């Protein structure tokens, strides 16, 4: 069945919310808690599961992925033989515009992050599932054409929307885990990857201790044991984002190294 751009609003009404992320994506360092991730092999084991990541995934990848799912047109699960996969339809221009801050979001950056997600190999084991493969399988131009309002003769009257097909890991996570829905914009406005990762982690918690979290164990739950230099560096990064974190309901007492969540974030 051929889908037209005008059909999308009606199709969206029939779909349940897909969420922008899942438990393991935020509670485990599937995405390294930095804005400058490096290629390599990461091995992690914590209270929420075991993880091996070979490639490069960091908070910039998470920012892009969450934005695609937040601003998507429609989504669905498809079966190809015995393989099931999640497929999402979105508008590249809308995604890049949403991610833009002081300058236009780079198309080269956008393509590089997508390529990283396709090439990175993941092994994941939790109480709910054990899966290996890629987060994203492929990116394609869709047959669905979006009309473009412009009087310029060099701009086409229509442009194709884009489809992202999730790989084995990405599909399994969205199919089997608790999903969370939130606007990623306030998170991607934070200056440091560790700040973004902490917000994401805390938003998957149903309740928070009244006395708060101890800062160091909280950080280590996101990236493993830290040497003294890294610990001080992470604290410095969090101090840079302290005001923005407070606006998101997260207050850090750096004297006592405690994190207090003053605004409850309900699960969706």
**pLDDT value of residue 247:** 95
The Cα–Cα gap between 114 and 266 comes to 30
The Cα–Cα gap between 208 and 202 comes to 8
The Cα–Cα gap between 243 and 82 comes to 49
The Cα–Cα gap between 135 and 60 comes to 15
Per-residue pLDDT of 146-188, as tens digits, reads: 888 766 666 667 889 999 999 999 999 999 999 999 999 999 9
> 1 pLDDT band (50/70/90 cuts)?
low
Q: What is the DSSP letter of 99?
A: H
Helices 193-202 & 59-70 angle (0-180, nearest 10) = 50
Contact 31, 58 (CB under 8 A): yes
Question: 79 or 45, which is more confident?
Answer: 45
pTM of the model: 0.91
Q: C-alpha angle 222/55/141, rounded to 5°?
A: 110
Rounded to 5 degrees, φ, ψ at 185 are -55, -50
Please report, for residues 13, 69, 216, 220, the alpha-carbon distance to residue 213 in angstroms, rounded to integers and kept in the order given: 40, 30, 9, 12
Whether the per-residue pLDDT at 131 is higher than 50: the answer is yes
What is the chain's mean pLDDT, rounded? Answer: 91
**pLDDT value of residue 82:** 82
Please report, for residues 216, 235, 237, 252, the alpha-carbon distance to residue 256 in angstroms, rounded to integers and kept in the order given: 11, 12, 17, 9
Whether the per-residue pLDDT at 191 is higher than 80: the answer is yes
**pLDDT value of residue 153:** 67
What is the SS3 assignment for 137?
A: strand
Helices 193-202 & 215-223 angle (0-180, nearest 10) = 100
Q: Residue 123, class by beta-carbon neighbours within 10 Å (0-12 exposed, 13-18 middle, 19+ buried)?
A: middle
Q: Long-range pairs for 244-250 at CB < 8 Å and ≥24 separation?
A: 244/186, 244/189, 244/190, 244/191, 244/195, 245/190, 245/195, 245/198, 245/199, 247/186, 248/186, 248/187, 248/199, 250/198, 250/199, 250/202
Rama region for 81: left / alpha / beta (φ>0; ψ in -120 to 50; rest): left
> What residues contact residue 223 under an 8 Å CB cut-off, 6+ apart?
29, 32, 33, 44
- Average pLDDT of 209-231? 93
Per-residue pLDDT of 6-37, as tens digits, reads: 778 777 777 777 799 999 999 999 999 999 99
């Amino acid at each position: 069945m051929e889908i037209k751009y005008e059909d999308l609003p009606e199709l969206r009404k029939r779909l349940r919310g897909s969420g922008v992320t899942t438990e393991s994506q935020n509670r485990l360092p599937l995405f390294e808690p930095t804005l400058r991730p490096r290629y390599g092999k990461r091995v992690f084991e914590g209270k929420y599961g075991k993880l091996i990541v070979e490639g490069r995934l960091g908070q910039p990848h998470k920012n892009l992925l969450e934005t695609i799912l937040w601003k998507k047109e429609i989504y669905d699960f498809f079966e190809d033989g015995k393989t099931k996969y999640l497929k999402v339809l979105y508008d590249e221009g809308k995604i890049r515009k949403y991610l833009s801050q002081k300058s236009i979001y780079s198309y080269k950056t956008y393509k590089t992050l997508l390529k990283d997600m396709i090439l990175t190999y993941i092994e994941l084991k939790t109480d709910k599932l054990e899966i290996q493969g890629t987060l994203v399988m492929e990116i394609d131009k869709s047959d669905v054409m979006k009309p473009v309002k412009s009087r310029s003769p060099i701009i086409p009257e229509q442009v194709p929307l884009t489809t992202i097909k999730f790989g084995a890991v990405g599909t399994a996570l969205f199919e089997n885990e608790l999903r969370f829905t939130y606007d990623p914009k306030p998170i991607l406005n934070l200056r440091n990857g560790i700040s973004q990762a902490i917000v994401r982690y805390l938003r998957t918690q149903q309740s928070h201790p009244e006395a708060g979290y101890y800062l160091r164990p909280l950080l280590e739950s996101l990236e493993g044991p830290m040497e003294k230099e890294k610990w001080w560096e992470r604290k410095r990064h969090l101090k840079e984002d302290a005001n923005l974190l407070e606006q998101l309901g997260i207050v850090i007492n750096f004297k006592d190294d405690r994190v207090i969540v003053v605004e409850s974030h309900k699960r969706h």
